[in-house]
Amino acid sequence: MSIPVLPDSASTLAPKTDLILLALTALSVVVMAIVFLPMIYFLFKYRRGRPADRTPLDLPTMKIEVTWTVIPLVLMMGLYAWASEVYLEEETPPLGAIEINVVGKQWMWKIEHAEGNAEINELHVPVGKPVKLTLASQDVIHSFFIPAFRIKQDVVPGRYTSEWFQPTKPGTYHLFCSQYCGNNHSQMIGSVVVMEPAAYERWLAESSPGQTLAQQGASLFRELGCSGCHMGNSVVHAPRFEGLYGKPVALQTGQVVIADDAYLRDCILTPAARVPGGYSPLMPSFQGRVNEGEIFQLIAYIKSLASAPVEGSPP
Amino acid sequence: MNAVELPPPVETEEVNYLTCECGVKQWLLTTDHKRIGILFLYTILVFFTLAAVAAALMRIELLTPKGDLLLSADYNKLFTMHGVLMVWFFLIPSIPSVLGNFLVPLMIGARDLAFPKLNLLSWYLFVIGGALAMDAIIRGGVDTGWTFYAPYSTTYSNSHVIEMAAGIFVAGFGSILTGLNFIITIHKMRAPGLTWFRLPLFIWSMYSTSLILVLATPVLAMTLALMAIERIWGVGIFNPALGGDPVLFQHLFWFYSHPAVYIMILPGMGVASEVIPCFSRKAIFGYEFVAFSSVAIAVLGFLVWGHHMFVSGMSPYAGTVFSLMSFLVAVPSAIKVFNWTMTLHRGSISFSTPMLYVLGFIGLFTIGGLTGVFLACLAADVHLHDTYFVIAHFHYIMVGGMVTTFMAGLHYWWPKIVGRMYPEKLGQLSAVILFVGFNLTFFPMFILGGLGMPRRYHAYPPEFQIYHVLSTAGASILGIGYLLPVIYLLWSLKFGKKAPPNPWGATGLEWKTPSPPPKHNFHRTPIVHEPAYNFPPLDAS
């Protein structure tokens, strides 16, 4: 068995992170040499009993102190700026990324693809394309960590977080939960399978449930009775979803929010909190009636209506 | 009112703080800072032993990739026990409450701390807190990790979270009182002539530590109280299902716990700054810079808590600010290391036991500090966060830094504390064993962390095994490095050579009184005419 020393490197971010880690390691070696070599030399030269010139020197203390304060400071500011730039890139998913939803719960990962495919503790992705994960937790804080991609993001209950990556090498890589989440934390592991695009398409088709995530959301939309108010000729005055997603919404308070995943999730769970202007807070909360995976489906459905013609307006 | 009997002007050699009034009651109701220091020493050693046993069980479990020795639930309780006991019941009180208690009045030429009864209360609070924590462990333990992250701790954990938190809460008040006592003592009770810049650097480090104890510990108390309120009454503070915010818990927790990290290293730096001049026969290089870097660490340490939260979902822009502050806090630590090294230049260096421990400390602390820079660095931290790299880093600081200097300090002042010398050769051997065992235990963890091994896993992928085996082997050596001093230090209590007042030829007021010191420290209030570390100049030979 070979002994691993460095982790697999399989995303566009991995070499950038590794370069920073390399620079940090080099800096550490240099600093250790600057500290330890003179120290060892002094320990040898000035050990008690060995003849040596020990007459005190009148050293310019202030100059020396300023030198070894300023040099590390400058080096560190350089590293700081470099690493922060890479970090901000990590935090900004590129446009047009494949969007995949992840639900963490004690102690498993549930993955939902937009095509409707669902998997547990496995994530299949194509090589060479950016992928954006939207992460939700059903219970406690988890963390979605793929060492080979050098990315990690806590999965926090009550909100969406996200991370992105672009795989560069087909293969199977570790997936770990890295935020302690209770009894079987160390079993909340899985694998990320990076495939050639054609193989990925085949995998999508073979494991397809027959309905896309948005279609699953549409069924749920009817089952839960959402359609009773939000569709057709309802007597209840409720917002329609055609053309809504991604657009600004003026609230009763005068505040304007963007109808994004986070806002829609809040509207399902705590509808009275941010009511759009012109509507009454009539909607009941669906807290406890839908789980995070179902909320993803409902949002996918609302998202699919983003380009649909708005009812009542000229076509 | 009874007339107070004044001690005769010249006491006989035999009567000292250990031999006068030595009944159990006199010890348990003592207000003598030296005796309270010893009470703390015995108490923290009990907690250290228990926490070390938990670590040993974890290391044995990790010998194999499968979780075959312990259930995951038990493993989780063990690492919680290890963390809680080590952090709050060993490291935080280690140097401040044991050596600080013993030495602060002696070093500044005072008869006792400003509030001796409050000092005794600190110990009782500590013991009550420790008893609550132990009761929680005996009744089934706690499985939240020492960090108590919500909503796991408030809603999901089925373990004795409240009792454990109550133990930490109570012990925390002991810390606050100790900090207050030190600050006031150092301000008001210095001997005539002992100006601020003549103070030993250990006192500067105790002063900085006390500032953190007084300012940060109340935040921990509030955080634990809020956690208990949510857990008991279901008030939504942290759990989003109740309308709370789990990231708020992390902000509050680390606002205390990051400064607390400096409670666990500043006192160690203070010990190093005493030992190095003594065994180099030379004043410390750049006294003011070493002194003010302690204060700078204490102040900047309050502004860096967010570096524990770079992947928590906090705003990335907040992350960049916390990263900047974390880089800055590394500078005063670097200044100290450079000054210690420079102090050796043209010194007359003896490799006595305390010096060997301190030299080991400089090596381990430098590595711990440099790997801290990795974790302050945003993009690097995203990969390394919550992996074994972090475990290795903070053990280099807390064990390599604090435990090593605690051992250095214990050996350095042992003759003063007990009036006996320990066997020097065994002392030197222990210092070397500790250094070797420590590195073998924790260095492989840096590589494991880089490979992506997450912390708090009781089972792991088989390719990581080799490093875990090395680490467990190192831990057995480390265990010997801890056990050996316990044996020969206890042996020395009875059989050690009697110690003279100043066995090391050190400067400082604590060495100008007999070993062990009389009950009220000094027969006559000392008057100081010279700066600290005023060793006679060395010559050409």
Q: Mind listing the pLDDT tens digit for each residue in A247-304?
A: 999 998 889 999 999 999 999 999 988 899 888 888 999 988 999 999 999 999 999 9
CB B214 within 8 A of CB B173: no
Residue A284, preceding bond cis, omega within 30 degrees? no
ω into residue B151 within 30 of 0, thus cis?
yes
- Which of B278, B442, B444 is closest to B358 using CA atoms? B278
- Banded pLDDT at B21 (limits 50, 70, 90): confident
Chain A nearest C-alpha distance from B243 (Å): 9
Contact yes or no for B52/B480 (Cβ under 8 A): no
pLDDT digits (tens, 9 = 90+) for B138-191: 999 999 999 999 999 999 999 999 999 999 999 999 999 999 999 999 999 999
In the stretch 155-184 of chain B, residues with CB closer than 8 A to chain A read: 155-157
| B250, B179 contact by CB (below 8 A) | no
Contact B386 A152 (CB under 8 A): yes
Half-sphere exposure of B240 (CA within 13 A, CB side): 21
Residue A32: closest CA among chain B residues belongs to which residue? B366
pLDDT, average across residues B377-406: 96
The count of other CB atoms within 10 Å of the CB of residue B484 is: 17
pLDDT, residue A27, reads 92
Tokens of B72: 């995951």
pLDDT in tens, B296-321: 998 999 999 999 999 999 999 999 99
Cβ neighbours, 10 Å, residue B302 = 19
pLDDT at B23: 86
C-alpha B244/C-alpha B237 separation (Å) is 4
Q: What is the pLDDT of residue A314?
A: 44
To test the contact with chain A by mutation, choose from B155, B370, B470 the residue with the greatest count of A C-beta atoms within 10 A, namely B370
Does any CB of chain A come closer than 8 Å to the CB of residue B466? yes
> Is residue B29's pLDDT more than 60?
yes
Kindly state the tokens that stand for A37: 């070599």
Backbone angles phi, psi at A126, to 5 degrees: -85, 150
Q: Which two tokens stand for residue B474?
A: 């190192």
Mean pLDDT of chain B: 93
Q: Do the strands A189-195 and A248-250 form a parallel or antiparallel pair, or are they unpaired?
A: unpaired
Q: How much is the pLDDT for A313?
A: 47
> Hey, which residues does A98 pair with through a beta bridge?
A131
What is the rounded distance in angstroms from the CA atom of residue B119 to the CA atom of residue B35? 11
pTM: 0.94
CB contact under 8 A, A51 and B337: no
Question: Nearest CA of chain A to the CA of B207: how many Å?
Answer: 23
The three-state secondary structure class of B341 is helix
Spatial distance between the Cα atoms of B263 and B301, rounded to a whole number of angstroms: 10
User: Is A180 within 8 Å of B540 when comparing Cβ atoms?
Assistant: no
Read off the amino acid at residue B60.
I
Sites in chain A below the pLDDT cut of 70: 1, 310-315
Among B510, B531, B507, B535, residue whose Cα is nearest residue B521: B510
Instruction: Return the residue in A1, A20, A35, A268 with the most chain B beta carbons within 10 A, the one to mutate for interface testing.
Output: A35
Query: Is the pLDDT score of B5 beyond 70?
Result: no
Peptide linkage before B340 cis (omega within 30 of 0): no
pLDDT of residue B20: 78
Give residue B541's pLDDT.
55
* B491-510 pLDDT tens trace: 999 999 999 999 999 999 99
SS3 of A287, please? strand
Q: Which of B387, B251, B268, B367 is nearest to B306 (CA)?
A: B251
> For residues B434 and B482, is the Cβ–Cβ distance under 8 A?
yes
Residues of A in contact with B281 (CB under 8 A): 48
Tell me phi and psi for residue A163, to 5 degrees. Answer: -145, 160
Helix (H) or strand (E) holding B186: helix B161-188
Cβ within 8 Å, pair A87-B247 = no
CB contact residues (below 8 A), chain B span 326-365, against chain A: 327-328, 330-331, 334-335, 337-339, 341-342, 344-351, 359, 362-363
Determine the Cα–Cα distance for residues B467 and B444; give it in Å rounded to an integer. Answer: 5
Check pLDDT > 80 for residue B14: no
Contact (CB, 8 A) for B457 and B41: no
Q: Is the pLDDT of residue B281 over 90?
A: yes
* A-B C-beta contacts closer than 8 Å: 255
- Predicted pLDDT at B444: 97
- In the DSSP assignment, the letter for residue B264 is T
Taking the C-alpha atoms of residue B375 and residue A10, their distance in angstroms, rounded to an integer, is 22
B125 confidence band (pLDDT: 50, 70, 90):
very high
Of B408, B280, B273, which Cα lies nearest the Cα of B335? B273
- pLDDT value at B19 more than 90: no
Asked if B502 reaches chain A (Cβ–Cβ under 8 Å), the answer is no
Q: Assign 3-class secondary structure to B12-28.
A: CCCCCCCCCCCCHHHHH
A61 neighbourhood in chain B, CB within 8 Å: 285-286
The Cα–Cα gap between B143 and B435 comes to 31
pLDDT digits (tens, 9 = 90+) for B216-255: 999 999 999 999 999 999 999 999 988 899 999 999 999 9
Determine the residue of chain B that is closest to A67 in CA distance. B335
Which chain B residues contact residue A148 at CB under 8 A? 452
Q: What angle do CA B397, B400, B405 make, to 5 degrees?
A: 105
Q: How far is A189 from chain B (nearest CA, A)?
A: 10
**pLDDT score at B57:** 96
The position carrying tokens 């030379």 is B282
Distance CA A285, CA A269 (A): 5
Query: Mean of the pLDDT values across residues B458-476?
Result: 96
Strands A131-137 and A98-105 come out as parallel
**CA torsion, points A46, A47, A48, A52, in degrees to nearest 10?**
-30
Question: For strand A189-195 and strand A122-126, is the pairing parallel, antiparallel, or unpaired?
Answer: parallel
